[in-house]
Amino acid sequence: MTGVMTSLHTLSATTLSGMMARGDVSVVEVTDAFLARIAAHNDALQAFVHVAAFRARRRARALDAARRRGDFPSSPLAGVPMGIKDLYPVRLMPMRGGSRALGPIITPFDAVNVARLRAAGVVMLGKLATSEFGAMPFTEPDVHAPTRNPWDLSTTSGGSSGGTAAATAAGLVPLGHGSDGGGSIRIPAALCGLFGFKAGRGALVHNSPTERLHLATEGPLAHTVDDATAMLQLLATDARFARPAVVPTGLRVRIAVDSSEPALAPTAPVMAQAARHVASLLQGLGHHVDETGPVPLGLPQFLPLWQRTLAWVPVPSMLEHRLQPITRWLRQAGKTISEATAFSTLDQITAVVDGWWGDADLFVSPAVTCLPPAVGSWRRDDPAEAFNQAVPLAVFTAAFNASGQPAMTIPVRLPGMSQPVGVQVVARRGDDALLLAVARVLESALGGLSHRPAAFS
């Protein structure tokens, strides 16, 4: 059993849950193993901002007692330890959203999806780092040291689900909880070598008072499609993820490797190579692949939607000075944009994306234009310059938050590279189940999606 215990962090979440349900290993043993990983590695990574070890062990003991009574939750994630991104409340845990302007507030309730995960038997280990209010694709708020990439600690893990990505890639949790309003699942998944799935608008339960435009959704960052599917099933508004979909032959696949912002965000050759590799795999599976241009929208068109969303975050006026300059700059502009203008802009962007999309079934592109940037590379005295540093990470992703289409990041390991790079695949609005089925086909064609950084193996 000792060998099994030391390698628990290399097992998938669904495998661990099955072992706990059978009694092969206890929930306490699994929980202790991941708490030990956090204690050993979190100082280097800054992935967790709060660790609730006492409450996690108490929950684990209760689940072990339930199993002995024959009352273990019938869930694919029962007993699985997880952290929750610190934009969402967890009962009796602090929340500050990566900001010096908030808290830490001890929240007396669970967010709606946290409650769903808890009911499914998930063990809550604590809260995971985010950029301030989820504003940036780097996780470097002023309330703690930067969150770092397990593949190279000098580089960023991305954002805003950067803590989730770092923790999942390094084996501090078996499965990650994130959210995506402009790429915040797909970007850190790409930088940390993970599978990340952003469901389409309305596919998953999501309840946030600041999300009136419905750009964001919660979702998984994972090592396997099975693990991601398990979370999607628990958070879904309907049964679309309940049964595996069949991928028909002859899908119309479009690929673009050029960025819509070539001056600010030229695509690195390795990113284009990875996207072309995924497209060639799809072509080999019987689908029709054609080259196309990028979505004819730059981040400046998406920016007003993001500014308006951040302006809705409730921050007392006397505490605005505590915000990071980039967050304050975004919010100040957002307050000048009316709700009606924001919804009109959303409709215009969606129409542009729909017109560009045409009759395609799938779209393939790099997830980001570059390898992980160095920690601190976005910090500039001028907030507009700081925002420009984010463009290479978000230029391929944000349009599909506006259009509400399902999109995912697939990690691809190219010859001669130790660290995988991320490829984005997008489906038509409402085709979440098809996209997940495509992920499963690509997982098989790529020989698996689970890649582990050697320093945290």
The catalytic residues are 85, 160, 184
By three-state DSSP, how is residue 373 classified? coil
Count the Cβ atoms, other than its own, within 10 Å of residue 413. 18
Residue type at 235 in one-letter notation: L
Nearest Cα neighbor of 450 from 406, 420, 405 is 420
Look up residue 68 and give its two tokens. Answer: 């002995």
Give me the residue label for tokens 């950084």.
Answer: 453
Q: How many CB atoms lie within 10 A of CB 278?
A: 24
Helix 325-334 × helix 299-311 angle, to 10°? 90
CB 242 within 8 A of CB 233: yes
Nearest CA among 13, 257, 4, 276 for reference residue 125: 13
d(CA 15, CA 415): 29
CA 83 to chain centre: 13
433: Cβ–Cβ under 8 A, 6 or more apart, which residues? 240, 241, 245
Are 122 and 73 contacting, i.e. CB atoms less than 8 angstroms apart? no
Residue 442 tokens read as 């690509």
- Cα 54 to Cα 51, 103, 162, 215, 415: the distances in Å are 9, 22, 25, 35, 44
Alpha-carbon span 252 to 257, nearest angstrom: 17
Helix (DSSP H) and strand (DSSP E) numbers for the chain: 15, 15
Dist CA 330 CA 332 (whole Å): 6
Q: Residue 182: is it exposed, middle or buried by C-beta count within 10 angstroms (0-12/13-18/19+)? A: buried
Give the distance from CA 235 to its chain's centroid: 14
C-alpha count within 13 angstroms, C-beta hemisphere, residue 247: 20
